Amino acid sequence: ALTAGIVGLPNVGKSTLFNAITKAGAEAANYPFATIDPNVGVVEVPDDRLNRLAELVKPQRVLPTTFEFTDIAGIVKGASKGEGLGNKFLANIREVDAICHVVRCFEDDNITHVAGQVNPAEDIETINLELALADLEAVDKRIEKVRKQAKTKDKEALAMLAVLERIQPVLEEGKPVRMLDFTEDELPIVRSLFLLTSKPVLYVANVSEDEIADPESNQHLQTVKAIAAEENAEVVAISAAIEEEIAELDDEEKELFLEDLGVTEPGLNKLIRISYDLLGLATFFTAGEKEVRAWTFKKGMKAPQTAGVIHSDFEKGFIRAETISFEDYDKLGSEKAAREAGKLRSEGKDYVVQDGDVILFRFNV
Ligand code: GDP
């Protein structure tokens, strides 16, 4: 499964956030995973569409889809010089598909800041620099190799070299590769390099609990937003401490607490949704009397592959996907009504599944 890794300097609120995630997950359901990596937190993906489908179909059970966060331990500063825990930090980042970078934006004199004061720009730079240096080392080596090949006028080598030479100066400035815009031709080459700084990033601005109703007034958040805009990253403002409290409440208490705080939903929900989106993930639904369920697929996947998310037999024996868009289902109220209105499409093996599709797969056994 694709996963987002949580990183950040010491004392910014990573553990607090990760605790909130694991508590929210444990609270929500019994997951069928026998043993779970203590560094992995499984959460349900909040989705109003699932609730609406459940309301319409009234099934025996409702199952949301899930999503994994990974807590990335290790020492940040000096990581690219590569010893022990620093190396582990980079290796762990290499394994995740997106990065949630927690940045301290709350002032609290009782909690020491590693750099002496709250300074999100500097914090972000510290981590980005380590990752950029690690990437630069790889790119430098690669350039040397490819230059030799390119002398023979090998087309692929020349294309690779051109990309590497665009990337190198950015890394030399300590900046992430994701700030570059690549062409359709360049993108596969960039992906093949598996660089740390080309992974998608979500900055998690950890603001103080009394700012959560109006985080925009926090100047540090504005700093983080400016940086994110420059490097094609996303931002979400949360209070990790509050999220940990929310995760411990039952639904009724939760609602009251959120109302008190002046917000409509937990910040964690936003964090989950944006991470999900960053990873290029989307949701389709199955809706029967026994079960209404949300499933995760990767955007761009065709119908048979998507059927394989449910069961490999569905993919092998795929015949067609009877599909209703969520919007139509919502409007018309049932599968029957959608069928009668001509809104149930019979899609074949080349159909690219869309976010929100409600699907019944037909397959041979
Ligand atoms: P980590 O080192 O990044 O994992 O940071 P921790 O999660 O251990 O948090 C460091 C300290 O900051 C702890 O004492 C937390 O209770 C506190 N902390 C975390 N988030 C918040 C927050 O949103 N507001 C305040 N005031 N303190 C927080």
What domains are there in the chain, each with its CATH number? 3-46+65-116+200-278 (3.40.50.300), 126-197 (1.10.150.300), 300-363 (3.10.20.30)
Residues of the chain with pLDDT under 50: 34
10 Å CB burial of residue 157 (0-12, 13-18, 19+) is middle
Q: How high is the pLDDT of residue 34? A: 39
Q: How high is the pLDDT of residue 111? A: 78
Please give the mean pLDDT across all residues of the chain. Answer: 91
Q: How high is the pLDDT of residue 73? A: 77
| Distances, alpha carbon 252 to alpha carbons 27, 255, 259, 331, in Å | 14, 5, 11, 29
341 lines ligand 1 (CB under 6 A): no
- Cβ-based neighbours of 182, under 8 Å, separated by 6 or more: 163, 190
Say which DSSP state 72 is in: -
Atom 17 in ligand 1: which residue has the minimum CA distance?
13
Test site for ligand 1: of 6, 9, 11, 208, most ligand atoms within 8 A of the Cβ? 11
Atom 21 in ligand 1: which residue has the minimum CA distance?
241
- Helix, strand and coil in the chain, % to nearest 5: 50, 20, 30
CA-CA distance, 215 to 57, in Å (whole number)?
38
111 lines ligand 1 (CB under 6 A): yes
Q: How high is the pLDDT of residue 78? A: 75
Test site for ligand 1: of 18, 71, 102, 111, most ligand atoms within 8 A of the Cβ? 111
> What is the residue-wise DSSP string for 145-191?
HHHHHHTTT-HHHHHHHHHHHHHHHHHHTT--GGGSPPPTTHHHHHH
**Could you tell me the pTM of the whole model?**
0.90
The interface predicted TM-score (ipTM) is 0.94
The CA-to-CA distance between both ends of the chain, in Å, stands at 26
- Cβ-based neighbours of 183, under 8 Å, separated by 6 or more: none
Atom 2 in ligand 1: which residue has the minimum CA distance?
11
